[in-house]
Structure 1
């Protein structure tokens, strides 16, 4: 009888082993810095945190207003420099790879990335005391951007292919796993966005297979104030920014009503 019980229990044991493996290795499934590796030789901006030097790029220094860009997973944020240079020459733009990404040391996790992002905001505010600060977050970066907007005054918030929470997106992709219990880095944007008091824009991809559009829609529905939404019905997760409307929509939103900054 016991061998038959062992055989019957084998699928459950394998499932539990899979759950344990996913829990231990989960950050390897969340963060993909490998394709972003580069040297620090061509960077021109540095933020010191926890004894580490985080290096990135600053465009158009000494402008009154500043924009901080938080990139998507596996995104080389410096690849956006030419588009920001052309579209927003009147903003100082900060492109800082996450720790563990680009030229930067360290290991990424939600607590650390959000703390780095808040420290970056504080440094940018110090450099632009009278200016507006805008935040742009794409995909994974939208989760970081919302957490900054929940804890600091942000004049304009742009979210590109954002989600309600990372745990909900993971549950869509892995319905056979209890990811809502297993996931440590949740990036709960639906909750965090409730503290944001500025205007916000959503750039939504209609054929997004990474962040299915319903997760963007749930984020919008959960927010206390509705955003402006620019829909790209034929775009996917990675090709959204290839549309000329992408940069024109962002620039138009950021330049509208340039009055006193939110405090």
Structure 2
């Protein structure tokens, strides 16, 4: 006996409803999956063993960006560090020591919704906030003394920032080929091209970067695969150097002596400055 169309419609109805519900849930709540912020009260006092200045930037749309600036005597320049997707400056500020110890000032912001930073967060807002702060920083330092360092989530923001400006160099730490490419590994069953509100096309941004690029990636990274950093290098091979940390994962590269050795060499690489100033 042939089953009626009504029967098949009944069979397919609930799976379709459940799938549609999951798509809607992902679309409206994706920020909760991608960002794990630590929020801080406005009067929170940062404490570090080396001198720093706290800055507050008020954006045109009413958003607020909180930042920390660490300075050393006779610095060689400044590292603008764009952090990952978790915690706040309270925890990330400890990475300043990796750069001030090498003779560089260190500057870092909290994205909106993190720490003391406030306001609505979208991809374009993340990028525009970083650009606004970069323009302020470029008044404090000549661009050939500004190094952009993008870590994990911040790698896409850093690549876009470098494509808009002329920093001394761009350092990408554990970067993704694109945010879409990264999320597709886990959400392949969703129509991400229509649902994803953050794309961060590092693969497109990096093509427009003209300064020297250094890509640092652990070959045992289980969160953002080493293959993604390698692909970014391949599409920018004339300007980029791929540095592999053998056995390095996603969150432990500073535990490897090789990381610090390579970082020292990069920050003191005169050839990179020569390439930039030609």
The two structures share one fold, judged by TM-score above 0.5: yes
Q: Name the CA shift for 1:22/1:130 in 2 (closer, same or farther; >3 Å).
A: closer
* Residue in structure 1 matched with residue 55 of structure 2 by the alignment: 45
Contact 2:144–2:167 (CA<8 Å) still a contact in 1?
Answer: no
Specify the alignment match of 2:50 in structure 1.
Answer: none
Aligned to 1:79, which of 73, 77, 94?
94
More deviation, 203-212/4-13? 4-13
Match for 2:267 among 250, 254, 260? 254
CA shift in 2, pair 1:130/1:188, >3 Å: closer
Of 128, 131, 153, 2:141 maps to 128
Question: After the TM superposition, which residues 23-102 of structure 1 pair with which residues of structure 2 at under 5 Å, given as runs?
Answer: 23-34=27-38, 37=40, 40-42=44-46, 44-50=54-60, 51-60=62-71, 63=75, 65-75=77-87, 76-86=91-101, 88=102, 90-102=103-115
CA distance in 2, matches of 1:73, 1:53: 18
1:204-247 deviation digits (Å, cap 9, x = unpaired):
12122211222222222222625212212312111122212222
Structure 1 counterpart SS, 2:57: strand
Larger radius of gyration: 2
Of the two structures, which has the highest relative contact order with CA contacts closer than 8 Å and spacing of 6 or more?
A: 1
1:171, 1:180 within 8 Å by CA — same for their partners in 2?
no
Rounded Cα–Cα distance in structure 1 between residues aligned with 2:8 and 2:143: 74
Calculate the TM-score normalised by the size of structure 2. Answer: 0.85
Question: Are 1:67 and 1:135, in contact at CA under 8 Å, matched by a contact in 2?
Answer: yes
Q: TM (normalized to structure 1)? A: 0.89
In 2, Cα distance between the equivalents of 1:18 and 1:134?
A: 41
Structure 1 unaligned residues grouped into runs of 5+ = none
Shift of 1:38: 6.2
Cα–Cα, structure 1 residues 10 and 237, in superposed 2: closer, same or farther, change >3 Å?
A: same
Displacement of 1:64 in angstroms is: 5.3
TM-superposition CA deviations, 1:184-219 (whole Å, max 9, x none): 210000001111111111111212221122222222
Q: RMSD across aligned C-alpha pairs, in angstroms?
A: 2.3
Q: Is the counterpart of residue 146 in structure 1 residue 159 in structure 2?
A: yes
